[in-house]
Amino acid sequence: MNTADLIWANGELVAWEDAKVHVLTHALHYGTGVFEGIRAYETEQGPAIFRHREHLERLEKSARLYYMDVPYSLDELREATHELIARNGLRSCYIRPLVVRGYGEMGLNPLENPVEVYIAAWEWGAYLGEEGKANGVRAKTSSYRRISPESLIPHSKASGQYLNSVLAKVEATKAGYDEAILLDHKGVVCEGAGENVFVIRDGVITTPGHTSSILDGINRRSVIEIATDLGYTVVERELARAELPLADEVFLTGTAAELTPLREIDDIPIGDGVPGPITREIQGMFDDALHGRTPQYADWLDLVPVPSGT
Ligand SMILES: Cc1ncc(COP(=O)(O)O)c(C=O)c1O
Protein backbone atom coordinates (compact mmCIF):
# COMPACT_ATOMS: atom_id res chain seq x y z
CA MET A 1 0.00 0.00 0.00
CA ASN A 2 0.98 3.63 -0.31
CA THR A 3 2.14 5.25 2.89
CA ALA A 4 2.29 8.85 4.11
CA ASP A 5 4.61 10.63 6.52
CA LEU A 6 2.29 11.19 9.47
CA ILE A 7 -0.65 9.62 11.30
CA TRP A 8 -2.87 11.39 13.84
CA ALA A 9 -2.88 9.39 17.07
CA ASN A 10 -4.90 10.56 20.08
CA GLY A 11 -4.33 14.23 19.48
CA GLU A 12 -0.77 14.14 18.11
CA LEU A 13 0.82 13.74 14.72
CA VAL A 14 3.29 10.87 14.81
CA ALA A 15 5.53 9.33 12.16
CA TRP A 16 3.76 6.63 10.08
CA GLU A 17 6.15 3.92 11.36
CA ASP A 18 5.66 4.97 14.99
CA ALA A 19 1.84 4.66 14.96
CA LYS A 20 1.66 1.52 17.12
CA VAL A 21 -0.66 -0.01 19.71
CA HIS A 22 -0.14 -2.52 22.53
CA VAL A 23 -0.74 -6.20 21.66
CA LEU A 24 -3.35 -6.37 24.41
CA THR A 25 -5.43 -3.60 22.80
CA HIS A 26 -9.01 -4.75 23.42
CA ALA A 27 -10.09 -4.18 19.80
CA LEU A 28 -7.37 -6.52 18.49
CA HIS A 29 -8.91 -9.39 20.45
CA TYR A 30 -12.63 -8.69 20.34
CA GLY A 31 -13.14 -6.32 17.40
CA THR A 32 -14.28 -3.47 19.66
CA GLY A 33 -13.58 -0.64 17.28
CA VAL A 34 -15.47 1.47 14.77
CA PHE A 35 -14.12 3.24 11.73
CA GLU A 36 -14.86 5.32 8.68
CA GLY A 37 -13.71 5.29 5.09
CA ILE A 38 -13.64 8.79 3.59
CA ARG A 39 -12.10 10.24 0.45
CA ALA A 40 -10.63 13.61 -0.37
CA TYR A 41 -10.48 14.63 -4.03
CA GLU A 42 -8.28 17.05 -5.86
CA THR A 43 -10.35 20.03 -6.90
CA GLU A 44 -9.47 23.39 -8.44
CA GLN A 45 -9.52 24.86 -4.92
CA GLY A 46 -7.26 22.16 -3.45
CA PRO A 47 -8.07 18.88 -1.67
CA ALA A 48 -11.73 18.56 -0.68
CA ILE A 49 -13.22 15.91 1.59
CA PHE A 50 -16.45 14.40 0.32
CA ARG A 51 -19.30 14.63 2.87
CA HIS A 52 -16.88 14.88 5.75
CA ARG A 53 -19.45 15.90 8.35
CA GLU A 54 -21.74 12.96 7.47
CA HIS A 55 -18.85 10.51 7.79
CA LEU A 56 -17.79 11.93 11.17
CA GLU A 57 -21.39 11.83 12.38
CA ARG A 58 -21.65 8.19 11.34
CA LEU A 59 -18.38 7.47 13.17
CA GLU A 60 -19.75 8.95 16.37
CA LYS A 61 -23.04 7.06 15.98
CA SER A 62 -21.25 3.77 15.23
CA ALA A 63 -19.24 4.28 18.42
CA ARG A 64 -22.32 5.12 20.46
CA LEU A 65 -24.01 1.88 19.39
CA TYR A 66 -21.04 0.07 20.95
CA TYR A 67 -21.11 2.17 24.15
CA MET A 68 -18.08 4.28 23.24
CA ASP A 69 -17.88 8.04 23.68
CA VAL A 70 -15.46 9.55 21.17
CA PRO A 71 -13.19 11.78 23.29
CA TYR A 72 -12.98 14.48 20.60
CA SER A 73 -15.67 16.70 19.11
CA LEU A 74 -16.53 16.39 15.44
CA ASP A 75 -14.94 19.80 14.85
CA GLU A 76 -11.71 18.62 16.49
CA LEU A 77 -11.66 15.51 14.31
CA ARG A 78 -12.39 17.62 11.24
CA GLU A 79 -9.52 19.99 11.98
CA ALA A 80 -7.19 17.09 12.81
CA THR A 81 -7.98 15.56 9.41
CA HIS A 82 -7.33 18.86 7.64
CA GLU A 83 -3.98 19.17 9.36
CA LEU A 84 -3.08 15.57 8.58
CA ILE A 85 -3.80 15.98 4.87
CA ALA A 86 -1.99 19.31 4.66
CA ARG A 87 1.09 18.13 6.62
CA ASN A 88 1.29 14.96 4.53
CA GLY A 89 1.11 17.08 1.38
CA LEU A 90 -1.72 14.93 -0.01
CA ARG A 91 -3.78 16.27 -2.89
CA SER A 92 -6.26 13.40 -2.95
CA CYS A 93 -6.44 10.53 -0.49
CA TYR A 94 -8.41 7.90 1.36
CA ILE A 95 -8.97 8.78 5.02
CA ARG A 96 -9.39 6.16 7.73
CA PRO A 97 -10.50 7.38 11.18
CA LEU A 98 -10.50 4.57 13.76
CA VAL A 99 -11.95 4.57 17.28
CA VAL A 100 -10.97 1.59 19.43
CA ARG A 101 -11.14 0.24 22.93
CA GLY A 102 -7.50 0.25 23.93
CA TYR A 103 -5.24 -1.57 26.36
CA GLY A 104 -6.66 -1.94 29.86
CA GLU A 105 -8.74 -4.73 31.30
CA MET A 106 -8.78 -8.07 29.50
CA GLY A 107 -12.13 -9.82 29.18
CA LEU A 108 -15.33 -9.14 27.37
CA ASN A 109 -16.50 -6.07 29.26
CA PRO A 110 -14.77 -3.16 27.49
CA LEU A 111 -16.38 -0.35 29.45
CA GLU A 112 -13.32 0.46 31.57
CA ASN A 113 -10.87 0.39 28.65
CA PRO A 114 -9.72 3.72 27.19
CA VAL A 115 -11.26 4.89 23.94
CA GLU A 116 -8.44 5.72 21.51
CA VAL A 117 -8.71 7.58 18.23
CA TYR A 118 -6.46 7.39 15.18
CA ILE A 119 -6.69 8.94 11.73
CA ALA A 120 -4.62 7.78 8.78
CA ALA A 121 -4.63 9.15 5.22
CA TRP A 122 -2.86 7.88 2.14
CA GLU A 123 -3.22 7.82 -1.63
CA TRP A 124 -5.52 5.01 -2.74
CA GLY A 125 -6.90 4.41 -6.25
CA ALA A 126 -10.28 2.91 -7.17
CA TYR A 127 -10.92 -0.13 -4.92
CA LEU A 128 -12.50 -2.25 -7.67
CA GLY A 129 -10.09 -0.82 -10.25
CA GLU A 130 -10.37 1.88 -12.89
CA GLU A 131 -11.17 -0.91 -15.36
CA GLY A 132 -14.07 -1.98 -13.13
CA LYS A 133 -15.38 1.57 -12.87
CA ALA A 134 -15.25 1.92 -16.65
CA ASN A 135 -16.50 -1.49 -17.80
CA GLY A 136 -18.18 -3.05 -14.79
CA VAL A 137 -17.23 -5.86 -12.41
CA ARG A 138 -18.35 -9.46 -11.91
CA ALA A 139 -19.94 -10.48 -8.60
CA LYS A 140 -20.93 -13.69 -6.88
CA THR A 141 -23.78 -14.09 -4.41
CA SER A 142 -22.03 -15.02 -1.21
CA SER A 143 -22.78 -18.18 0.72
CA TYR A 144 -22.36 -15.97 3.81
CA ARG A 145 -25.38 -13.95 4.87
CA ARG A 146 -24.91 -10.33 5.95
CA ILE A 147 -24.80 -9.97 9.75
CA SER A 148 -28.27 -9.79 11.18
CA PRO A 149 -29.65 -7.27 13.68
CA GLU A 150 -30.50 -10.31 15.80
CA SER A 151 -26.78 -10.81 16.49
CA LEU A 152 -24.94 -7.59 15.68
CA ILE A 153 -25.63 -4.03 14.54
CA PRO A 154 -25.58 -3.69 10.73
CA HIS A 155 -25.94 0.10 11.02
CA SER A 156 -22.67 0.42 12.94
CA LYS A 157 -19.45 0.45 10.92
CA ALA A 158 -17.76 -1.69 13.55
CA SER A 159 -14.40 -3.40 13.08
CA GLY A 160 -15.37 -6.86 14.36
CA GLN A 161 -18.40 -6.95 12.10
CA TYR A 162 -16.13 -6.81 9.08
CA LEU A 163 -15.16 -10.47 9.49
CA ASN A 164 -18.44 -11.04 7.67
CA SER A 165 -17.33 -8.91 4.71
CA VAL A 166 -13.84 -10.44 4.80
CA LEU A 167 -15.24 -13.99 4.47
CA ALA A 168 -17.53 -12.97 1.62
CA LYS A 169 -14.73 -11.12 -0.18
CA VAL A 170 -12.27 -14.01 0.17
CA GLU A 171 -14.85 -16.49 -1.06
CA ALA A 172 -15.67 -14.36 -4.11
CA THR A 173 -12.03 -13.61 -4.91
CA LYS A 174 -10.94 -17.25 -4.64
CA ALA A 175 -13.77 -18.19 -7.00
CA GLY A 176 -12.48 -15.65 -9.55
CA TYR A 177 -15.01 -12.81 -9.04
CA ASP A 178 -14.35 -9.17 -8.26
CA GLU A 179 -16.90 -8.71 -5.49
CA ALA A 180 -19.46 -10.51 -3.31
CA ILE A 181 -23.15 -9.66 -2.96
CA LEU A 182 -24.58 -10.62 0.41
CA LEU A 183 -28.17 -11.54 1.09
CA ASP A 184 -29.53 -10.57 4.48
CA HIS A 185 -30.82 -12.94 7.16
CA LYS A 186 -34.23 -13.00 5.42
CA GLY A 187 -32.66 -14.05 2.10
CA VAL A 188 -33.25 -10.76 0.31
CA VAL A 189 -30.50 -8.70 -1.31
CA CYS A 190 -28.53 -6.62 1.17
CA GLU A 191 -25.34 -5.14 -0.26
CA GLY A 192 -21.83 -5.79 -1.56
CA ALA A 193 -18.99 -6.71 0.80
CA GLY A 194 -18.17 -2.99 1.04
CA GLU A 195 -20.78 -1.25 -1.12
CA ASN A 196 -24.49 -0.58 -1.35
CA VAL A 197 -26.33 -1.93 -4.37
CA PHE A 198 -28.75 -0.34 -6.85
CA VAL A 199 -30.88 -2.11 -9.44
CA ILE A 200 -32.47 -0.46 -12.49
CA ARG A 201 -35.40 -1.96 -14.34
CA ASP A 202 -37.69 -0.22 -16.81
CA GLY A 203 -36.17 3.11 -15.78
CA VAL A 204 -36.94 2.72 -12.07
CA ILE A 205 -34.06 2.60 -9.59
CA THR A 206 -34.42 0.34 -6.57
CA THR A 207 -32.17 -0.16 -3.57
CA PRO A 208 -32.60 -2.15 -0.35
CA GLY A 209 -33.88 -0.06 2.56
CA HIS A 210 -32.80 0.24 6.17
CA THR A 211 -34.63 -2.87 7.31
CA SER A 212 -32.49 -5.00 4.96
CA SER A 213 -29.43 -4.86 7.29
CA ILE A 214 -27.59 -2.37 5.08
CA LEU A 215 -24.92 0.07 6.15
CA ASP A 216 -26.44 3.53 5.67
CA GLY A 217 -23.95 4.38 2.93
CA ILE A 218 -23.10 8.02 2.43
CA ASN A 219 -22.55 7.48 -1.28
CA ARG A 220 -25.89 5.65 -1.36
CA ARG A 221 -27.56 8.77 0.05
CA SER A 222 -25.70 10.96 -2.45
CA VAL A 223 -26.68 8.79 -5.41
CA ILE A 224 -30.33 8.73 -4.32
CA GLU A 225 -30.27 12.53 -4.28
CA ILE A 226 -28.50 12.79 -7.65
CA ALA A 227 -30.81 10.26 -9.31
CA THR A 228 -33.87 12.03 -7.94
CA ASP A 229 -32.53 15.40 -9.14
CA LEU A 230 -32.03 13.84 -12.59
CA GLY A 231 -35.73 12.96 -12.58
CA TYR A 232 -35.54 9.23 -11.79
CA THR A 233 -37.80 7.46 -9.35
CA VAL A 234 -35.79 5.81 -6.58
CA VAL A 235 -37.57 3.16 -4.54
CA GLU A 236 -36.23 1.74 -1.26
CA ARG A 237 -37.60 -1.75 -0.74
CA GLU A 238 -36.65 -5.38 -0.27
CA LEU A 239 -35.05 -6.85 -3.39
CA ALA A 240 -35.38 -10.52 -4.33
CA ARG A 241 -32.14 -12.24 -5.35
CA ALA A 242 -33.42 -12.85 -8.89
CA GLU A 243 -33.98 -9.12 -9.41
CA LEU A 244 -30.23 -8.69 -9.92
CA PRO A 245 -29.81 -10.97 -12.95
CA LEU A 246 -33.20 -9.80 -14.26
CA ALA A 247 -32.26 -6.11 -14.03
CA ASP A 248 -31.39 -3.89 -16.98
CA GLU A 249 -28.54 -2.34 -14.98
CA VAL A 250 -26.97 -2.80 -11.54
CA PHE A 251 -24.34 -0.68 -9.83
CA LEU A 252 -22.53 -0.49 -6.51
CA THR A 253 -21.69 2.59 -4.44
CA GLY A 254 -19.17 3.07 -1.67
CA THR A 255 -16.35 5.36 -0.64
CA ALA A 256 -13.67 2.88 -1.69
CA ALA A 257 -15.38 1.66 -4.89
CA GLU A 258 -17.10 5.01 -5.71
CA LEU A 259 -19.76 4.14 -8.33
CA THR A 260 -18.89 0.86 -9.99
CA PRO A 261 -21.25 -0.86 -12.47
CA LEU A 262 -21.94 -4.59 -12.12
CA ARG A 263 -21.83 -6.39 -15.45
CA GLU A 264 -22.41 -9.97 -14.27
CA ILE A 265 -23.94 -11.68 -11.26
CA ASP A 266 -23.30 -15.40 -10.73
CA ASP A 267 -22.04 -15.68 -14.35
CA ILE A 268 -25.24 -14.17 -15.78
CA PRO A 269 -24.69 -10.97 -17.78
CA ILE A 270 -26.78 -8.04 -16.52
CA GLY A 271 -28.63 -6.32 -19.39
CA ASP A 272 -26.24 -6.26 -22.33
CA GLY A 273 -23.31 -7.16 -20.07
CA VAL A 274 -21.94 -3.63 -20.22
CA PRO A 275 -22.69 -0.58 -18.04
CA GLY A 276 -26.08 0.83 -19.08
CA PRO A 277 -27.08 4.42 -19.94
CA ILE A 278 -28.71 5.33 -16.62
CA THR A 279 -25.71 4.02 -14.67
CA ARG A 280 -23.43 6.06 -16.93
CA GLU A 281 -25.49 9.21 -16.48
CA ILE A 282 -25.54 8.95 -12.68
CA GLN A 283 -21.88 7.93 -12.56
CA GLY A 284 -20.93 11.03 -14.58
CA MET A 285 -22.88 13.35 -12.33
CA PHE A 286 -21.55 11.62 -9.21
CA ASP A 287 -17.97 11.93 -10.44
CA ASP A 288 -18.52 15.63 -11.11
CA ALA A 289 -19.89 16.04 -7.57
CA LEU A 290 -16.88 14.23 -6.05
CA HIS A 291 -14.45 16.47 -7.89
CA GLY A 292 -16.24 19.75 -7.23
CA ARG A 293 -17.37 20.24 -10.83
CA THR A 294 -21.07 20.62 -9.95
CA PRO A 295 -22.05 23.84 -8.13
CA GLN A 296 -25.33 22.13 -7.16
CA TYR A 297 -23.46 19.73 -4.85
CA ALA A 298 -20.65 22.08 -3.80
CA ASP A 299 -21.74 21.92 -0.15
CA TRP A 300 -20.89 18.19 -0.08
CA LEU A 301 -17.20 19.13 -0.20
CA ASP A 302 -15.13 20.20 2.80
CA LEU A 303 -12.16 22.13 1.46
CA VAL A 304 -8.86 21.45 3.22
CA PRO A 305 -7.04 24.69 4.01
CA VAL A 306 -3.56 24.20 2.60
CA PRO A 307 -0.90 26.51 4.07
CA SER A 308 0.59 28.85 1.46
CA GLY A 309 3.89 27.71 0.04
CA THR A 310 2.87 24.03 -0.10
C1 LIG B 1 -20.51 -3.02 4.35
C2 LIG B 1 -20.55 -1.72 3.63
N3 LIG B 1 -21.68 -1.33 3.02
C4 LIG B 1 -21.77 -0.16 2.37
C5 LIG B 1 -20.71 0.70 2.30
C6 LIG B 1 -20.84 2.01 1.58
O7 LIG B 1 -20.82 3.08 2.49
P8 LIG B 1 -20.27 4.51 2.09
O9 LIG B 1 -20.98 4.92 0.86
O10 LIG B 1 -20.61 5.38 3.24
O11 LIG B 1 -18.81 4.38 1.89
C12 LIG B 1 -19.50 0.34 2.91
C13 LIG B 1 -18.33 1.24 2.86
O14 LIG B 1 -18.13 1.98 3.76
C15 LIG B 1 -19.42 -0.88 3.60
O16 LIG B 1 -18.29 -1.27 4.20
pLDDT digits (tens, 9 = 90+) for 252-293: 999 999 999 999 999 999 999 999 999 999 999 999 999 999
Catalytic site residue from 133, 157, 174, 186? 157
Q: Which helix (H) or strand (E) holds 10?
A: none
- Name the band, by pLDDT with cuts 50, 70 and 90, for residue 307: confident
How many whole angstroms from 178 Cα to the centroid of ligand 1?
A: 16
Q: How confident is the model at residue 309 (pLDDT cuts 50, 70, 90)?
A: low
Distance from the alpha carbon of residue 105 to the mean position of ligand 1, in angstroms: 31
Query: How high is the pLDDT of residue 183?
Result: 98
Tell me the whole-structure pTM to 2 decimals: 0.97
What are the pLDDT digits (tens) for 59-95?
999 999 999 999 999 999 999 999 999 999 999 999 9
Neighbouring-strand partners of residue 192: 181
Give me ligand 1 centre to Cα 94, in Å: 13
Beta-bridged to residue 268, according to DSSP, are 265
Determine which residue's CA is closest to atom 2 belonging to ligand 1: 194
Closest CA to 259 of 238, 228, 235, 281: 281
Q: Which residues form the pocket of ligand 1, taking CB atoms under 6 Å from any ligand atom?
A: 37, 165, 191, 194-196, 215, 217-220, 253-255
How far is 77 from 113, CA to CA, in rounded Å?
A: 21
To the query of whether residue 157 is one of the catalytic residues in this protein, the response is yes
Candidates 157, 166, 214: which one to mutate for ligand 1, based on the most atoms within 8 Å of Cβ? 157
pLDDT value of position 126 = 80
> Number of helices and strands (H, E) in the chain?
7, 17
Which tens digits make up the pLDDT trace of 207-249?
999 999 999 999 999 999 999 999 999 999 999 999 999 999 9
- Per-residue confidence (pLDDT) for residue 310, from 0 to 100: 54
Tell how strand 137-141 and strand 258-265 pair up: parallel
Q: Let me know: does 195 contact 182? Beta carbons within 8 Å.
A: no
Q: Please tell me the residue having the least CA distance from ligand 1 atom 5.
A: 195
pLDDT range class, residue 178, cuts 50, 70, 90:
very high
